[in-house]
Amino acid sequence: MSAIEISNLAKTYQVGFFRKTEKAALKNLTLEVHEGEIFGYLGPNGAGKTTTLKLLMGLMFPTAGTASILGRPISDPQVKRSIGFLPEQPYFYDYLTARELLEYYASLSDVPAKERSSRAQRMLDRVGLGGAANTQLRKFSKGMLQRAGIAQAIIHDPKIVFLDEPMSGLDPIGRREVRDLIQELNDEGKTVFFSTHILSDAETLCDRVAVLNRGELQGVGVVADLLAETVGKREVIWEGASTALDALGTKVKIVGDIARTVIDDRQADAAIDAIRHAGGRLKSLMPVQGALEDYFLKHTEPGAGAEVKSE
Ligand SMILES: Nc1ncnc2c1ncn2[C@@H]1O[C@H](COP(=O)(O)OP(=O)(O)O)[C@@H](O)[C@H]1O
Ligand SMILES: [Mg+2]
């Protein structure tokens, strides 16, 4: 069974003073997430990530299309039991302690009264906040709040965890902690669907990613496959005969006796021959690691969040 199945999902907001202008925030999204995956939902600000998550959480209704979670339509109340959600910028009442917050969420998600306190403590331990259980949230750092938010999302032991921009606004340590936590949840067998515009986090963490831009899906796949589109380049490093590859017209960087340049894969044989022929010595010929960022930039446009026109 797939964890999440989204079919032709669309959302158009009515905007403007008389709500006469339509804004297509999500267009015709079809997407499948498998059980057990860490799935990254990528896109620049305004791409439609939060809109998608709110639709999946049943927090608003789609203009068109359907979605199901673990085989049940998202309108089915049973679905709520199997999912946990961390909203983008969650707001928690400042004067609650972490324990109170979690006991409150436990009560909302049908955890039996006598289990709430032990469950709250277990979840706080789980996210590394065990020692801060009795501290008021106003004294928490952003990273601690985010971890408390994740504890809230998993208090009822859901099968699928949805996280909207869980790493945004965190310092590198906080991001690392959240990343590790996502990995651990996945190791325990949970499916994790998270949105982010921080590509490096997705790159290291995700089994598969989808890239969204202006409400439209640009691509979905295994990170390595998406990257394959941007590779196909090699860096050549050689010693001596620094002009050996001038015929290729690439930019050559020379430091002392060492020259380096980046060429197309298919020029590799010719480059090796040329360096040898000119009396140089090949030192290395390595594929250039394509970054997810390259893919992302190729499929998104600057200012994409500024205006989404309905077509
Ligand atoms: N409640 C709303 N009313 C009108 N427009 C909205 C609303 N929420 C989001 N939008 C617009 O929909 C588009 C997608 O927004 P959102 O889903 O929040 O993107 P993301 O989470 O990827 O940054 C944006 O252009 C945003 O301005
Ligand atoms: Mg968002």
Tens of pLDDT along 111-149?
Answer: 899 999 999 999 999 999 999 999 999 999 988 999 999
Mean pLDDT in the chain?
88
Q: Are residues 181 and 147 in the same domain?
A: yes
Ramachandran angles phi, psi of 237, nearest 5°: -125, 130
Total domain count, the chain: 2
The answer to whether residue 306 sits within a structural domain is no
pTM above 0.95, yes or no: no
- pLDDT at site 304: 41
- pLDDT at site 290: 59
Taken in order 215, 6, 191, 205, the sign of the CA dihedral is negative
Q: What is the mean pLDDT of residues 190-203?
A: 89
- Beta pairing, strands 216-222 & 208-213: antiparallel
Q: Are residues 209 and 239 in the same domain?
A: no
Nearest CA to ligand 1 atom 5: 13
Q: Are residues 265 and 201 in the same domain?
A: no
The Cα–Cα gap between 290 and 152 comes to 37
Secondary structure (3-state) at 138: helix
Environment of ion ligand 2 (residues, CB < 5 A): 49-50, 88
The Cα–Cα gap between 111 and 128 comes to 21
What are the Cα distances from residue 267, in Å, to 233, 248, 273, 281? 9, 8, 10, 17
The answer to whether residue 304 sits within a structural domain is no
Q: Are residues 242 and 137 in the same domain?
A: no
The answer to whether residue 307 sits within a structural domain is no
Ligand 1 pocket: which of 15, 41, 51 to mutate (most atoms <8 Å of CB)? 51
Is residue 309 predicted with pLDDT exceeding 50?
no
For the Cβ of 168 lying below 6 angstroms from any atom of ligand 1, the answer is: no
CA 49 – ligand 2 centroid, Å: 5
CA 276 – ligand 2 centroid, Å: 54
| pLDDT category of residue 58 using cuts at 50, 70 and 90 | very high
Q: What is the side-by-side order of every strand in the sheet holding 191-196?
A: 83-86, 160-164, 191-196, 38-42, 208-213, 216-222
Burial class (CB within 10 angstroms; exposed 0-12, middle 13-18, buried 19+) of 185: buried
Look up the CATH number of the domain holding residue 269.
3.30.70.120
Q: Are residues 254 and 133 in the same domain?
A: no
Q: Are residues 115 and 162 in the same domain?
A: yes
The answer to whether residue 18 sits within a structural domain is yes
Q: What percent of the chain has pLDDT over 90?
A: 63
**Ligand 1, atom nearest to 88 Cα:** 21
Q: Are residues 104 and 251 in the same domain?
A: no
Q: Are residues 73 and 203 in the same domain?
A: yes
Q: What percent of the chain has pLDDT over 70?
A: 93
The answer to whether residue 224 sits within a structural domain is yes
Q: Are residues 210 and 282 in the same domain?
A: no
For the Cβ of 48 lying below 6 angstroms from any atom of ligand 1, the answer is: yes
Q: Are residues 272 and 215 in the same domain?
A: no
Q: Are residues 117 and 258 in the same domain?
A: no
Q: What is the mean pLDDT of residues 3-26?
A: 92
Q: Are residues 213 and 245 in the same domain?
A: no
The answer to whether residue 146 sits within a structural domain is yes
For the Cβ of 47 lying below 6 angstroms from any atom of ligand 1, the answer is: yes
Q: Where are the beta strands (DSSP E) in the chain?
A: 2-15, 21-34, 38-42, 64-69, 72-73, 83-86, 160-164, 191-196, 208-213, 216-222, 233-239, 253-255, 258-264, 281-287
Look up the CATH number of the domain holding residue 214.
3.40.50.300
Residue 171 zone, left/alpha/beta (φ > 0; ψ -120 to 50; rest) = beta
Domain that holds residue 86: 2-228
The answer to whether residue 164 sits within a structural domain is yes
The answer to whether residue 160 sits within a structural domain is yes
